[in-house]
Structure 1
C-alpha cells in the first residue's frame, strides 16, 4: 500500500497468492490451476474493486489463463487484471516496467544527490527473473556496464558485461535453465555455485562496483555483504526486489553515507504501469511505447523528489527509507481522514 501511495496514482494496495509451485508443471497443469483459482477469486475482484497483478511465478501467461476464466464466468471485458497479454488489454512496457523504473529512480537519485551518472559505471545486479533482466536491459541502454546476475543455484560474473541475449535465452519468458549454461557459452564468464558462496554472504556483492541492484528475493543482501560493498567503493544501493536488504545492512548503508533506495519507492514502476493499463482499459485506448515510457520516467522522478523532500522536511536528509515511509503514510492518513475512516 505504501508503494502504491508513493506513485500519487489513484490505487490502493493488497496482497494475495497461493501455495501452488509451477516448477516442473506443464502449461496445461498451470492453466488448470489458474482456472480453478479464478473460480474462487472472481467474486472478490473487479475493475473498480480489486485489480490483481502478477508477481513471483505469475507472468503474462498465467494472467492470460486467469483472465480467460474470468471472462468465461462473467461474460464481461473488464480491466480486472493487470499485466495481461497485449492482445487483449495489456499495456506496452508492462513486463519491463519494474526494472526500467528502478533504473529511472537510480538515475534521478544519483543526478540530484551526487551529480553522477550511470554511464560507463560498473553495476552489479542479483537475480535473473523479470525485474533483474529488465534492470540489466535498461542499465545497458544508458551505457552502464552490468557484470553480474544470479539464480537460486549460483551467480554469473562476466567482466565484459552480461550478454543480455544469452541471459534471455536461459531465463526470459519464464524459462528456467541454469546459469551454468551461460558460463559454458560465454567465454571469460565465471559461474559461482551457491555452495561456494562465503558464509553469510552472496557472491554478487563481492564484486567491486559503483552501484548495486538487489533484484532477486528477500534478505539476499546481509550486513556482511554491506560491509564488503562499502569497502569496495559502492556509492548507491537501489532495491529492485521487495525487501531484499536485511535491516542491519540498511542501517550500515545509511550510517556510512551510501545512497540507499528502498523498494517501496524504487520498484514502484510496475504498479505505476498497472494503473496506466487500467486507464487504457477504461478509455478503450492503446498508448504508444513512447508515451508509456515517458510517463513511467516522470512517475519515478516524482517519487524520488517526493521521498527526498519529505526526508529533508523531517530532518532526515538522504534517508530515503524514512522519507518513503513518512510520505506514503501521510498520503494514506490524509485520504482516511477525508473519507471519515
Structure 2
C-alpha cells in the first residue's frame, strides 16, 4: 500500500465523525500523490503526512454568557492550532450554529496551505463557536465575545496565534474581543486582525477577500486570452466576501446577476446594485427579500438555485459544500468557463472533478480566497511597525500577492505534468513550503 493510502486510512479511522475534515484531507493528499511518490521513503521515515494531518493542538471550552432577559446561555468555543512551521497560527473565528470540531479542523487544515500560498510568514489555525450572532442585541454579542475571549486569551498572542474574522465575526465582534483581550492581558498588541481603523486595523481589509478573488480570476482569464469585460458572473452568498467580489467584478466591466443568503437568492438581470445590497445586509442586517422589494428588476427565489443561471464565471462565496454535482452539470451545460471559490471548500469533490473533466477552469479556495488572510498578514506587519498604509498601498500589495499565487499554482501543476489542474497546483505549492520548513525544524 502506498504511503498516501496508509495515511488516508489512518486519518479516516481516527476522525470518522468529521466528514468535512476527511473531505479536505482526501482532496489534498490525493492531489499530492506525485510529490509524495517522488519523496516517499524520506517522507515516510519522517512521518510527514501523519504530522501534517494532525493538529498541533485542539482547544474546546465552555462559553457562558447572560442574555437580555437575564438568562444564562452556554455555547462551546473552539480553537485548533494546526501548524506553525512557517509562522504564528493564523485563521478566522467562525460564529455559526453549524460550528463543530470537524468543521474547525477542516478550516484549519485548509488554512495551513492557503497561508503558505500567500508567501507570507503565517501558519494555519481556525476557531469559533456554535453561537449565532443573528438576532442578538449588541449587548448580547458583547457578553458572548467577552466570555469567549476570557478563555481564548490564554492561548493567543501577536507572535503565537493571531485570529481574525470569519462567518458571523465582523468588525463589531472583533472589537469586543480585542477590548477584552487588552483588559485581561494588559497588552496592546496586534493579536487580532480585522480590527477597526481607529485601533490598528488595515485599510482594504474589509474588501480583501472579495477583491483578491477577482484579482486571481482576472489573471486566470488574461492567461487564457480572455478578459472580465462583458462577462456574466453568478455569485452565491451576500456576506462580506460576496459583496466585495460583486463590487470588484463590476468595476472590471463584468455583470453580476445573482447573490444569495441562507433562505433564498436574487436574480437581477440588470446587475446587482451593490449600494442597495450593502444597505440591506450591512446596515439593516436583513434578508434578501428586502433587496427584491426595493428593486423592480430583481426576482427573489426561496431555497437555492444561483447555479442554474447562465453565466461565463461562477464564484461560490457562501459556505462549504454549496456547489453540488448537479450544479456543476448545470454550469457546464450553460457554457460556464471558470469557477473560482470565494468560500472555503464550497464545491464538493465530485462536482470539482466534473468541472475539471469538462474543461472548466477551476481554482480552489485555498488559492482564490487567500486575499483575506494575506491582507490580515499585512495588517500584522503594520501593527508591528506602528504604521498605517494607504488603501492604494494595501490594494496594490494584495493584487500582486494574488497574481503571484496564480502563477505559482500554475507552475506547480506544470512541474508535475498536470497543466491546468489548479487544485493540484495549489496543494503542491502550499505543501512544498510547509514540508520543507517541517523537515528543517526536526521532529516537533
Higher-strand-fraction structure: 2
2:267 aligned to 132, 143, 157, which one?
157
Q: Which residue of 1 aligns with 2:341?
A: 239
Aligned to 1:10: 121
User: Which residue is 1:198 aligned to?
Assistant: none
Q: Which residue in 2 is equivalent to 1:179?
A: 288
Shift in Å, 1:143:
1.1
CA-to-partner distance for each residue in 1:114-154, whole Å, 9 max, x for gaps?
21011111100011000000100111111110000011111
2:195 is matched with which residue?
Answer: 84
Cα RMSD, aligned residues only = 0.9
Determine the structure 2 residue equivalent to 1:210: 312
- The 5 A counterparts of 1:67-146 are 67-112=178-223, 114-146=224-256
TM-score w.r.t. the length of structure 2 is: 0.74
In 2, Cα distance between the equivalents of 1:239 and 1:286? 30
CA–CA distance in 2 between the matches of 1:218 and 1:176?
A: 22
Q: How does 1:255-270 map to 2 (within 5 A)?
A: 255-270=357-372
SS at match of 1:46: coil
Q: CA deviation at 1:75?
A: 1.7
Tell me the SS of whatever aligns to 1:292: helix
Superposition TM-score, scaled by structure 1 size: 0.96
Which residue matches 1:190?
299
User: What SS class does the counterpart of residue 216 from structure 2 fall into?
Assistant: helix
Provide the C-alpha distance between the structure 1 equivalents of 2:123 and 2:326, rounded to a whole number of angstroms.
Answer: 36
Q: Tell me how far 1:304 sits from its aligned partner.
A: 0.5
* Partner of residue 339, structure 1: 441
Q: Displacement of 1:23 after TM fit?
A: 1.6
Instruction: Say which SS state the counterpart of residue 140 (structure 2) adopts.
Output: helix
Structure of greater Rg = 2
Write the deviation string for residues 259-303 of structure 1: whole angstroms up to 9, x where unpaired: 001000000000000100000000000001110000000000011
Deviation at 1:176, TM superposition (A): 2.7
Which residue pairs with 2:420 in the alignment? 318
Equivalent-residue separation in structure 1 for 2:432 and 2:144 (angstroms): 39
CA distance in 2, matches of 1:192, 1:281: 44
After the TM superposition, which parts of structure 1 deviate over 4 Å for at least 4 consecutive aligned residues?
A: none
Q: Larger relative contact order (C-alpha < 8 A, sep ≥ 6)?
A: 1
Residue matched to 1:287: 389
Distance 2:209 2:293 in 1: 30
* 1:230 and 2:230 aligned: no
CA deviations on 1:177-222 (whole Å, 9 max, x unpaired) are 111121111112111111xxxxxxx410111111000001111111
Q: 1:110 offset after TM fit, Å? A: 1.0
Q: Are residue 35 (structure 1) and residue 146 (structure 2) matched?
A: yes
Q: Which string of whole-angstrom CA distances, capped at 9 and with x for unpartnered residues, describes residues 89-130 of structure 1?
A: 000011110000000010011111x21011111100011000
C-alpha distance in 2 between matches for 1:108 and 1:164: 23
C-alpha distance in structure 1 between counterparts of 2:134 and 2:118, whole Å: 33
